[in-house]
Amino acid sequence: MRASNLYAPTLRNTPAEAEIVSHQFMYRAGFIRKSAGGIYTFLPLAWRTIRKIENIIREEMDAAGGQEIMMPILQPSELWEESGRWSAYGEEMMRMKDRHGRDFCLGPTHEEMMTALVRDEVRSYKQLPLMLYQIQDKFRDERRPRFGLMRSREFIMKDLYSFDKDEEGMNASYQKMYDAYTNVFTRCGLKFRPVEADNGAIGGARSHEFTVLADNGESSIAICTKCDYAASDEKTELTAIEAAAEERQPLEKVVTPNTSTIEALVDFLRVPIEKTIKAVAYQTDKDELILAFVRGDHEVNEVKVQNAVPGAQELRMAEDATIAAAGGCAGFMSPIGIKKGTHIIVDATVMKMYNAVAGANEKDVHYKGVNPARDFTNEGLIVTDIRLVKEGDPCPHCGAPLTMTRGIEAGQVFTLGTKYSEAMGAKFLDENGKEHPLLMGCYGIGVGRTMAAAIEQNNDKDGICWPRAIAPFEVVVVAVNAKKDAQLACAEEIYAECRKVKLDTLLDDRRERAGVKFKDCDLIGYPIRITVGPKAVEEGDIEVKVRKTGEVFHFTRETYIENVQELLKNL
């Protein structure tokens, strides 16, 4: 490919809406263009990278026993009614009607479709295990599409589904996919961690997210400083912290004006924050009230709260009126005096506290001498781990301190058990002719998000520094002055020599100033730049620059190819 023919419109300025580096560089380097919020066109450079990522994924899925198929994007509502997700999926689902008024959606994921496909065909244990996958556009009407390809509304996903006859088989399939994902991200040249994750609304028991490490990633993960434990912050299990035992004081009301925040309360009463209890009030989609209590210096983990209340969906902050109706007072809350029928969830650490301060469910009033084990006597009160992990918390496996890191969820693997096969009647006959529901797993990789994550992890102020495996081109040959015939001819020769040894090469033959071309090379981020100027023509001196390190080498015409191949091995 010649740069003079390449459709890669580069820009000097960053569009205002591009908040993160990957979005900015993809825009400026001519990789993507927006058509509507969260909806993008991939230009040739981006598409080359996407195809490389897809091919790595394909090879690894095939090697693990997956078979590629292609399903429709349009999905009839009936399948989703069967699984119960037509209503549960909420506003994220892009819905439409056909001319007969029948409901359809643009697939946000394909569990229902896959289950429906195999239930009609898979009858016997002899047809198992089975793994089917596709690489296809998915649609999710995200509440906040942003960060370019990172969180878009139409995005490319590889989704694989496994079907097994028993738990052991399902776990074996899960392990195969876990290993295949490890290979995919390793081959893409990315630094990543598989982390234990919450299964969320999809159901099932086991899950890992494959998180590409990057400082401004949306995911926060806890990594043990000693053992190999790593988990998303939502998932990290925490044990209750024991407070030093004290003699229990009686409960006593104190007037605390303008102390609806913990900071104000601590300031006013001059108590340590570890002696306070704070509340967060949620309302479910069915308008049930959930009150969650944690120690003042801890944060509530919403996912754990949701998991603690069966059937709770789409939590939002509770309205003051709802709180008041339950006997509470926003900003001054404790379980004491809250009416029956409210879900009260108290973090296990709170139950171990002595003589704490908590709200009295009256404006500007708190209780002192709160001893949760004695005073929180509400019927149905749930005590469990609902706090969010923070730096230094103990590892649930070995007790060593955890450290917090940020990253980007590029893929996720789940076991699903029989959730979909039972709901949708996908059954098979075992060796004894007995009928069982299929055991399933599902496994997704965001292809565009992986590309964006690669940029977040590999860039500098001048642009992208692609890992070789997923760079749009591995090598760029730049004719410094393409108006000079001898230089252009020499660059053409070198371009041909590179291609001959199967290096994925671009020839920058544009009649632009050298400075402009070099800037574009750095912005687009080809791993290796070969510069062909007068010295190359006259002395056979070939200049090779490594994008990532900025190192410059000079090789002879005879040896440069081997050296470039050698350099690429480490990129």
Chain residues that interact with ligand ATP, rule: CB under 6 A = 109, 140, 142, 151-152, 155, 157, 409-412, 444, 446, 448-449
Decide: 532 and 539 in contact? Cβ < 8 Å.
Answer: no
> Which residue, 407 or 533, has its beta carbon nearer to ligand ATP?
407
> Which residue, 185 or 526, has its beta carbon nearer to ligand ATP?
185
Interface region with Mg ion, contact rule CB under 5 A, candidates 179-187, 264-272, 388-396, 409-417? 409-417
> Which residue, 372 or 444, has its beta carbon nearer to Mg ion?
444
Of the candidates 306, 282, 312, 278, the one whose C-alpha atom is nearest the C-alpha of residue 294 is: 278
410 binds, among Mg ion, ligand ATP, none (CB under 5 to 8 A by kind): ligand ATP
- CB 197 → Mg ion: shortest distance, Å? 7
> Which residue, 441 or 446, has its beta carbon nearer to ligand ATP?
446
CA distance 497 to 562: 11
- Cα 343 to Cα 340, 346, 438, 476: the distances in Å are 8, 10, 35, 62
> Which residue, 151 or 235, has its beta carbon nearer to ligand ATP?
151
| Residue with tokens 């410094």, as numbered in its chain | 480
- CB 80 → ligand ATP: shortest distance, Å? 15
CA distance 278 to 332: 8
- CB 192 → Mg ion: shortest distance, Å? 14
- Cα 374 to Cα 167, 313, 355, 377, 569: the distances in Å are 43, 31, 10, 7, 65
Q: Looking at beta carbons, which residue is closest to ligand ATP? A: 446
- CB 458 → Mg ion: shortest distance, Å? 23
Decide: 320 and 267 in contact? Cβ < 8 Å.
Answer: no
> Which residue, 210 or 518, has its beta carbon nearer to ligand ATP?
210
| φ/ψ (deg, to 5) at 112 | -65, -45
- CB 140 → ligand ATP: shortest distance, Å? 5
Decide: 493 and 486 in contact? Cβ < 8 Å.
Answer: no
CA distance 69 to 133: 6
- CB 30 → ligand ATP: shortest distance, Å? 21
328 binds, among ligand ATP, Mg ion, none (CB under 5 to 8 A by kind): none
3-state secondary structure 113-176: HHHHHHHCCCCEHHHCCEEEEEEEEEECCCCCCECHHHECCEEEEEEEEEEECCHHHHHHHHHH
Of the candidates 445, 435, 370, the one whose C-alpha atom is nearest the C-alpha of residue 409 is: 445
Decide: 242 and 352 in contact? Cβ < 8 Å.
Answer: yes
- Between residue 140 and residue 159, which ones bind Mg ion under the rule CB under 5 A? none
> Which residue, 111 or 520, has its beta carbon nearer to ligand ATP?
111
Amino acid, single-letter form, for residue 70:
M
Q: Is the peptide bond prior to 129 cis by the omega test (within 30 degrees of 0)?
A: yes
DSSP summary character for residue 251: P
CA distance 318 to 488: 69
- CB 209 → ligand ATP: shortest distance, Å? 7
- CB 523 → ligand ATP: shortest distance, Å? 23
Question: Should residue 412 be labelled a site residue for Mg ion when binding is judged by CB under 5 A?
Answer: yes
- CB 235 → Mg ion: shortest distance, Å? 12
> Which residue, 307 or 412, has its beta carbon nearer to Mg ion?
412
> Which residue, 349 or 412, has its beta carbon nearer to Mg ion?
412
> Which residue, 256 or 412, has its beta carbon nearer to Mg ion?
412
217 binds, among Mg ion, ligand ATP, none (CB under 5 to 8 A by kind): none
CA distance 15 to 195: 34
Q: Looking at beta carbons, which residue is closest to Mg ion? A: 412
Interface region with Mg ion, contact rule CB under 5 A, candidates 7-15, 228-236, 396-404, 408-416? 408-416
> Which residue, 64 or 156, has its beta carbon nearer to ligand ATP?
156
Decide: 545 and 528 in contact? Cβ < 8 Å.
Answer: yes
- CB 444 → Mg ion: shortest distance, Å? 7
> Which residue, 8 or 202, has its beta carbon nearer to ligand ATP?
202
Interface region with Mg ion, contact rule CB under 5 A, candidates 37-45, 113-121, 347-355, 412-420? 412-420
- CB 139 → ligand ATP: shortest distance, Å? 9
Pairing assessment for the beta strands 94-97 and 74-76 based on DSSP bridges: unpaired
CA distance 399 to 411: 28
- CB 412 → Mg ion: shortest distance, Å? 4
151 binds, among Mg ion, ligand ATP, none (CB under 5 to 8 A by kind): ligand ATP
- Give 389's contacts (C-beta < 8 A, 6+ positions apart): 222, 231, 233, 236, 238, 301, 402, 404
CA distance 33 to 410: 22
Exposed/middle/buried for residue 350 (C-beta within 10 Å: 0-12, 13-18, 19+): buried
Q: Provide the binding-site residues for Mg ion, judged by CB under 5 A.
A: 412
